[in-house]
A and B are shown apart, each in its own frame.
Chain A
């Protein structure tokens, strides 16, 4: 019975262990953002709401080459022992060893993250273990038995260097990290990245899509239009070796990736190669030596960078025997035009995938060092019909966004941001009588999912309005209304027989998805809302205090509402019964019928008058007592007709089913769904 507030369990109690508190020890301002890139990686911090800044190594270098050298690290160890005697070398020093130890110096391992050997469809200079489920790279010196490392371990080495850099800067342990991943990374690739973080001794607060990080760095999350803070953005990311285009939708402070595209083998290095090829032609060399090749590439890169500022630059190639030669921006543009056009084509395809016209975009963000090339900017501007956002250093913008997100997750307060990873106010829905049923309690750690089964109130009910509310008060009117939708197509079933399962799923970005599903027919309806959107910390405090101030009257109001609902249910059932069987002889004599009808009228009056639950509950008890003989006769009749011609076993099994049903109906407390 649900007519009043129950406390479950009047028996004996044991002291319980408190529910496991969030493992995360918040240390505001001690979290870092990491851009774990294919060619370069960076670490940035934005402590306690400060502007983000990237951290440099002892030489003042902020970009860490994503290269790890195991050369010599296993040398001298006995065959098969697998013991590592030296530490792997990371970064520039590792890259310097690459020519000498091509198989022990690993670069661009990001391409192998979370992949199986059969997924590797690009060329690379490494030996892979082919028996494994996941890629493992053989780093043994020539003539030695195989020694394998996984891409996860290699990435962990890079992350360790960045973590050390941050701990040196913060003069403290790092509380946690946000690591960026490409938007197209699948679950396995994301998990591999998380694992790498864990091996590096980092608590990975969250993985963040690289384009989303760039958008956060520009503060685009706070620039949405309209009531729901909406916006559409394109993020054009041209790095050294990869090109990614992402179309993002902003809604209520959350970015959603609508479409991605790109080319995993197209980047600024290809610009260098194109220019190097041109210079090679000028030097009239057919087959350059490795030394000449190195000189060419360095000169080409330097010239490309110079031409981002100047119209003309001078190149001299001593080893190739090329005297001072002028290269103009127009020449470079002509050489790289086909390459840049490929990125534009992919960008347009991504827009088409997202079913958008370029005019619908609210902004375009440039990411990656190669977007400094003037031709790239010009063609992007032309393709999207607007000037791209480029005032943040395109090499650092992703790390900045990660640092801002990490700072928020560490518990810092930032202006205009209330996104925390606990639920600031309870989330629930309105049930009969305007009563709030809380599904996800306040301060639950997100992500979290919970579900609860609801039932119908009357046989005529074929739809259910799901009204999602937020707040601590007992009545929906006093809570914040978040969303409302209708589930239609509930089969006609006697009261309390239909089963509608409501699921609340709050994801890591505090985006709430509410789904209602009728369990018999499977009809389903869902809606997405952002519960933290537009609430400041002060407002949250106020709403919580409000619920304390009103606690007593809220309980009274809730009791009253519940008493009304229960009274209504009993009256409806009685009226239906009178309509159905009242005419059958011997079921209800006229006097009794009059008495019950009079009692019903009286109850109606009490319902209208009462401002307190007690008189309604008393009137309902009177009504139930008054109609009890009628109910008993109906029951007996039903039993007689039901049992006619049935065996004892059938009756027993029917009763057992009824019991099981009762149990199920009773057991519909909100249940937290285990993420596993």
Chain B
């Protein structure tokens, strides 16, 4: 697979071993803490998080962001955050997630994770639908 040079290597707390030291996916310390907390609260401190995209065509792609109780699949990339939380990304999703930073936002719109994805070209304004 060809390497895609990602955007600014900002607060890189998690990198893969491959890809010439460039972070393919970054999880901010705050986001990693929340993930860890939610895994513990769920009673599965050793489980992981699956991050990916699915769908396509005129239905649009959507993010997959869910707990994963299983070991990673054969071609998954496993990103381990500083606090040990693991995020699985399948290779097909990685193409359009490469360089993404996972933040945790606490704001007027509520609390939740936000994906800062450099592959997204324009934003439709409402924040609900984005194009590459």
For the side of the interface on B, what is the size category? Answer: 35 or more
**B7 on the A face (CB < 8 A):** no
Which residues of chain A have C-beta atoms less than 8 A from B54's C-beta? 441
**A143 on the B face (CB < 8 A):** no
B95 to A552, Cβ gap below 8 A?
Answer: yes
Nearest CB of chain B from residue A654's CB, rounded to whole Å: 23
**A191 on the B face (CB < 8 A):** no
**B128 on the A face (CB < 8 A):** yes
The answer to whether A670 and B59 touch (CB under 8 A), given A6-B129, A9-B128, A11-B112, is yes
Q: Which A residues, 597 to 612, have Cβ-Cβ distances below 8 Å to chain B?
A: none
In the bound assembly, the distance between CA atoms of A551 and B128 in angstroms comes to: 25
A10 to B127, Cβ gap below 8 A?
Answer: yes
Which residues of chain B have C-beta atoms less than 8 A from A452's C-beta? 59
B60 to A548, Cβ gap below 8 A?
Answer: no
Complex partner residue of A11 from B55, B75, B127, CB under 8 angstroms: B127
**B123 on the A face (CB < 8 A):** yes
In the bound assembly, the distance between CA atoms of A551 and B64 in angstroms comes to: 18
Nearest CB of chain A from residue B92's CB, rounded to whole Å: 5
Nearest CB of chain B from residue A610's CB, rounded to whole Å: 17
Which residues of chain B have C-beta atoms less than 8 A from A4's C-beta? 121, 131-132
A13 to B115, Cβ gap below 8 A?
Answer: yes
Q: Which B residues, 54 to 84, have Cβ-Cβ distances below 8 Å to chain A?
A: 54-69, 75
Complex partner residue of B57 from A17, A437, A547, CB under 8 angstroms: A437
**B53 on the A face (CB < 8 A):** yes
A-B contact count (CB 8 A): 126
B67 to A438, Cβ gap below 8 A?
Answer: no
Complex partner residue of B59 from A10, A11, A474, A668, CB under 8 angstroms: A668
B69 to A18, Cβ gap below 8 A?
Answer: yes
**A456 on the B face (CB < 8 A):** no
Binary contact readout A635-671 vs B (1 if CB under 8 angstroms, 0 otherwise): 0000000000000000000000000000000001110
Complex partner residue of A668 from B58, B64, B68, B109, CB under 8 angstroms: B58
Give the nearest-CB partner of B66 in chain A: A16
Nearest CB of chain B from residue A435's CB, rounded to whole Å: 6
Binary contact readout B85-117 vs A (1 if CB under 8 angstroms, 0 otherwise): 000000110011000000001000111111101
Q: Which A residues, 1 to 38, have Cβ-Cβ distances below 8 Å to chain B?
A: 2-19
Which residues of chain B have C-beta atoms less than 8 A from A474's C-beta? 56
The answer to whether A12 and B112 touch (CB under 8 A), given A5-B131, A555-B96, is yes
The answer to whether A8 and B69 touch (CB under 8 A), given A13-B63, A555-B95, is no
Complex partner residue of B112 from A7, A13, A19, A441, CB under 8 angstroms: A13
Which residues of chain B have C-beta atoms less than 8 A from A552's C-beta? 1-2, 95
B95 to A2, Cβ gap below 8 A?
Answer: no
The answer to whether A16 and B67 touch (CB under 8 A), given A9-B128, A437-B57, is yes
In the bound assembly, the distance between CA atoms of A316 and B63 in angstroms comes to: 82
B56 to A15, Cβ gap below 8 A?
Answer: no
Complex partner residue of B75 from A441, A548, A670, CB under 8 angstroms: A548
B113 to A669, Cβ gap below 8 A?
Answer: no
Nearest CB of chain A from residue B102's CB, rounded to whole Å: 9
**A110 on the B face (CB < 8 A):** no
In the bound assembly, the distance between CA atoms of A144 and B69 in angstroms comes to: 55
B114 to A13, Cβ gap below 8 A?
Answer: yes
B57 to A12, Cβ gap below 8 A?
Answer: no
Nearest CB of chain B from residue A617's CB, rounded to whole Å: 9
Which residues of chain B have C-beta atoms less than 8 A from A14's C-beta? 65, 112-113
Which residues of chain A have C-beta atoms less than 8 A from B112's C-beta? 11-14
In the bound assembly, the distance between CA atoms of A9 and B123 in angstroms comes to: 11
In the bound assembly, the distance between CA atoms of A441 and B121 in angstroms comes to: 27
**A559 on the B face (CB < 8 A):** yes
B127 to A5, Cβ gap below 8 A?
Answer: no
**A431 on the B face (CB < 8 A):** yes
In the bound assembly, the distance between CA atoms of A18 and B56 in angstroms comes to: 20
A15 to B61, Cβ gap below 8 A?
Answer: no
Which residues of chain B have C-beta atoms less than 8 A from A547's C-beta? 92
The answer to whether A7 and B92 touch (CB under 8 A), given A13-B65, A15-B66, A668-B58, is no
In the bound assembly, the distance between CA atoms of A547 and B92 in angstroms comes to: 8
In the bound assembly, the distance between CA atoms of A552 and B93 in angstroms comes to: 10
In the bound assembly, the distance between CA atoms of A18 and B95 in angstroms comes to: 22
**B49 on the A face (CB < 8 A):** yes
**A558 on the B face (CB < 8 A):** yes
Listed A/B pairs (23) with beta-carbon separation below 8 Å:
A2-B58, A7-B120, A8-B60, A8-B61, A8-B63, A9-B63, A9-B129, A11-B112, A12-B109, A12-B111, A13-B63, A13-B114, A13-B115, A15-B35, A15-B49, A16-B64, A16-B67, A17-B67, A437-B56, A548-B92, A551-B91, A552-B2, A669-B60
Q: Which 3 A-B pairs have the closest CB atoms?
A: A12-B112, A6-B60, A2-B58
List 4 other contacts, CB 8 Å, given A5-B56, A6-B129, A10-B120. A2-B58, A4-B121, A7-B63, A15-B67
